[in-house]
Amino acid sequence: MRFEDSLILMVSGGRTSSAPSNVSVQKVLDSVDLKNVVVSELCHPSGAWNSELIRNSFLPDDASLILSLPRLSPAQDDSLCWHFDKRGFYTVRSGYKVALDLKKGIGSSSMQLSPWWRFLWKCNIPNKCKIFFWKAFNGWLPTFATLARRRVDVVDYCQVCNDDSESITHILWSCNSAVEVWRQLLGDDVIQRIVVSDFPSIILSLWRSVDSVVFNLLIIGYWRLWTNRNSVVHGSAGWAAADMVTWIDNFANEFRLANELNHKEVLSHQPSWKTPKRGEFKINCDASFQLRSGKAGVGVIIRDYKGSAIAARSSPVLCCSSVEMLEAQACLEGIHLAIDIGVSGVIIESDAASVIQLLSDQTVPRTELGAIIHTSLALGASVNLLSYVAVRREANSVAHCIAQHALSLDSPVVWFEEMPPDIARLVRGDSPTSVCPF
Ligand SMILES: [Zn+2]
């Protein structure tokens, strides 16, 4: 497969890899003929990137992105991928959905907006608020403006302020009561920075302007404004803005406290890391992703049957298209480290259950993940890979900290036997109470 001018698909003769789907090559310099080059021509026979050629051929940012892709098996055939389906199978339904998204101009949810959706579903708020917000974001609320557009016999005006058409933007952002709620919750500074346009644009601007705690309040606030609107439509008196703000604050706090209590209770019953059998090695793998900075990293550590650290590697990743890709990359990195130091009889542990499932079942999805899974399975034999095990986060805490450490690095770091003091302490303690130093 050849390079296209807007997207690198790292699936090529003799070498299969996959670029994050949101990576675009802005310009390729003259030394590479865009129309005729295949990815394998950018690699050494061993499968490693030809970094000199890549740096000479691409703009610096693009070269760094390409070089950040993991080493993959050199003996892999071309394959077609369809990353809009979880397992990579094209269906009319998934194609139709992509076409609709493109028509709306927002791209597929698994492309431009994927970090945004991942962020939303991880918000520490009740699911009913998330689901409401998801509908609002997609324009699926039955406001009077929406109903009128669908030729339902209603009079389109806002019954809260009696002053305007009741669009989603109006009721959740521009209506008098909404303006007052947001002024009190966000402050004038933030509000003045937001250009009032369609609702999704307002939300994405806010997402970039406020921290996650405030964003949780925002979502709860939208839900409260909508329930207030429904009360008014059904004949009740609306709430004053100040009362709604107090309610939103209290609701968010109570939910967070209740969740933290549950979390602690679960943690106290978590199993800790377990040593492998004599003669075996355990590789713990994890990935870390920082939403705001876009930084990502993977961390792996190999330990023997005594629990002693044999080697560890902390690698920054310049870009990633999904958390699942990053977690798969961490597992592959673990296998590479095992090959590099020559251990055999290894168990891979990760808290990414979906990735472990694919590896255990030897299922190669026809998505971006496919190339990494395929390479991991192919290389597994060379380290006598015994099993892939999904563990709870608490049993993977050292790898997690090493992955976190990668967020502050510019290039990979490898340690052999002697771990840095902070990691050594975690290895000794490796318990649910260990605190990540990074
Ligand atoms: Zn209004």
Domain boundaries, the chain: 11-67, 114-267, 281-429
- pLDDT for 174: 93
CA of 56 relative to ligand 1 center, distance in Å? 58
pTM strictly above 0.75: no
CA of 167 relative to ligand 1 center, distance in Å? 9
- pLDDT for 110: 44
- pLDDT for 102: 66
Q: Which residue has the tokens 């805490």?
A: 397
Burial of 241 from C-beta contacts in 10 A (0-12 / 13-18 / 19+): buried
Beta-sheet strands, E only, within 318-384: 346-350
- Those residues whose beta carbon sits under 5 angstroms from the ion ligand 1 are 158, 160-161, 175
3-state SS assignment for residue 144:
helix
Q: Which residue has the tokens 């002053």?
A: 163
Task: Say if residues 16 and 72 touch (Cβ distance below 8 Å).
Answer: yes
CA of 165 relative to ligand 1 center, distance in Å? 8
Burial of 285 from C-beta contacts in 10 A (0-12 / 13-18 / 19+): buried
CA of 242 relative to ligand 1 center, distance in Å? 17
- pLDDT for 381: 87
CA of 157 relative to ligand 1 center, distance in Å? 8
Q: Parallel, antiparallel, or unpaired for β 346-350 and 385-390?
A: parallel
CA of 171 relative to ligand 1 center, distance in Å? 6
3-state SS assignment for residue 319:
coil
CA of 184 relative to ligand 1 center, distance in Å? 17
Among residues 293, 291, 299, which one has the least CA distance to residue 403? 299
CA of 250 relative to ligand 1 center, distance in Å? 25
Residue 59 contacts by C-beta under 8 Å, 6 or more apart in sequence?
25, 26, 27, 28, 29
CA of 302 relative to ligand 1 center, distance in Å? 60
* DSSP conformation letters of 178-233: HHHHHHHHH-HHHHHHS---SHHHHHHHHHHHS-HHHHHHHHHHHHHHHHHHHHHH
pLDDT truncated to tens, each residue of the chain (438 aa)? 344 333 333 333 333 333 433 333 334 444 455 556 677 778 887 777 888 888 887 777 677 777 777 766 666 666 677 767 767 777 777 787 777 766 665 444 444 556 677 777 778 888 889 889 988 988 889 999 989 888 888 889 999 999 889 999 999 999 999 999 999 988 888 888 888 788 988 988 888 788 777 888 899 999 999 999 999 999 999 899 999 998 998 888 778 766 654 443 333 344 688 889 999 999 999 998 765 566 789 999 999 999 999 999 999 987 666 778 889 999 999 999 999 999 999 999 998 888 998 999 888 888 878 889 999 999 998 899 999 999 888 889 899 999 989 988 988 999 998 898 888 888 888 744 444 555
Count of alpha carbons within 13 Å of 271, Cβ hemisphere only? 7
Task: Please say whether the structural domain 281-429 has been given the CATH code 3.30.420.10.
Answer: yes
CA of 174 relative to ligand 1 center, distance in Å? 7
- pLDDT for 310: 94
CA of 196 relative to ligand 1 center, distance in Å? 15
- pLDDT for 36: 63
Task: Say if residues 158 and 164 touch (Cβ distance below 8 Å).
Answer: yes
- CB burial string 143-162: b at 16+ within 10 A, e below: bbbbbbeeeeeeebbbebbe
Sheet with 296-303, side-by-side order of all strands: 385-390, 346-350, 281-289, 296-303, 309-317, 413-416
3-state SS assignment for residue 281:
strand
Task: Say if residues 389 and 352 touch (Cβ distance below 8 Å).
Answer: no
